[in-house]
Structure 1
Amino acid sequence: MDIKTMAAVGALTLGLTLSSVGIAQAETVVRIAELEIDPAQLDAYKAAVRDEMAESVRVEPGVIAIYAVALKNNPTQLRFFEIYANDAAYRTHIASPHFKKYVEVTQPMIRARTLLETDPVQLSANPRYGAIPTAADVVTQADRATQEGEQ
């Protein structure tokens, strides 16, 4: 699957149309990562990245989606499609304890990494395929996280 196809599939399966829920597409950060994993460590890598991704979407309101796929004919070649509400959400993500742990644990497993910066042209999805967070949901989650941090 090439990057263009993966981006289209990621946007289609996202489960929301960003502009229709009040998230400014101009502020949205979309990143694509291409990784090659050491075959001997592939299972351990997949376990670590699954944990990190699940935690990210669970606790970070600015993480809209993170998708990971492996190339069919080369499962050590992984591609990631990440969508953040804005640059601050991306910065919060890479500063999070779970992301830092992921980096520390997986760094020796990764043979090669290419990070691609993108400019979203259009991010659309069929809302029938998943829960649709609204902008109010994102703000409420962010407020709740801030309040919990103050206690």
Structure 2
Amino acid sequence: MMKPRHALILCAAMAASFLGGLAFAGKAAVPVVRIAELEIDPAQLDAYQAAVKEEMATSVRIEPGVLAIYAVAEKAHPNRLRFFEMYADEAAYRSHLASPHFQKYVKTTQQMILSRKLIETVPVLLATNPR
């Protein structure tokens, strides 16, 4: 079992590594965090979920600037989805939007999405449990 002091040092090292990885040329890059609220046509929900799972898996696998993408659905309304996305910086976000797999997702799902709300955010605190 790891001692609390060692766990704290490990957490601090991981955080420094993460944040240090976002710095270049003496300037810290600012992560881009986006939240999206989508309502999907219930009749096309299964097809939408398959398309978005493929896109998300590809994004986190091949794009180093994609730090996290999470998707959740409302329990009472499974066709109402919320996405939390985090990119290393603005350039990584723009690269993601231009990627072939994201463009395929857009084309495949455009008729499935009934409404979409994109929420611009400013990171206040980004913390991760290093389990």
Q: Counterpart of 1:99 in structure 2: which amino acid?
A: F
Hey, which of these two has a bigger chunk of helix by percent? 1
Match of 1:102 in 2: 105
**Which residue in 2 is equivalent to 1:34?**
37
2: CA distance, partners of 1:26 / 1:120: 12
Q: Is the 8 A contact 2:39 2:115 kept in 1?
A: yes
The 1-side partners of 2:101 and 2:16 are apart by: 29
Query: Structure 1 stretches (4+) deviating beyond 4 angstroms?
Result: 17-20
Match status 1:71 vs 2:74: yes
Segments of structure 2 that go 5 or more residues without pairing to the other structure are 1-13
Contact 1:52 1:98 in 2 (8 A): yes
Partner of 1:54: 57
CA shift for structure 1 position 67: 0.3
Deviation for aligned residue 1:18: 5.3
Q: Identical aligned pairs, as a percentage?
A: 68
In the aligned structure 2, how far is the partner of 1:43 from the partner of 1:33?
Answer: 19
Match of 1:7 in 2: none
CA positional deviation for 1:19: 4.9
Q: Which runs of 5+ in 1 are unaligned?
A: 1-16, 129-151
Match of 1:118 in 2: 121
Partner of 1:149: none
Query: Residue 91 of structure 1: which of 86, 91, 94 is its match?
Result: 94
TM-score normalized by the length of structure 1: 0.71
Cα distance in 1 for partners of 2:52, 2:94 equals: 18
In our comparison, the structure showing a higher alpha carbon Rg is 2
Following the alignment from structure 1 to structure 2, what is the Cα–Cα distance between the partners of residues 58 and 20? 20
Counterpart of 2:90, as a letter, is D
Task: Write the letter of the residue equivalent to 1:96.
Answer: S
Distance 1:71 1:20, change over 3 A: same
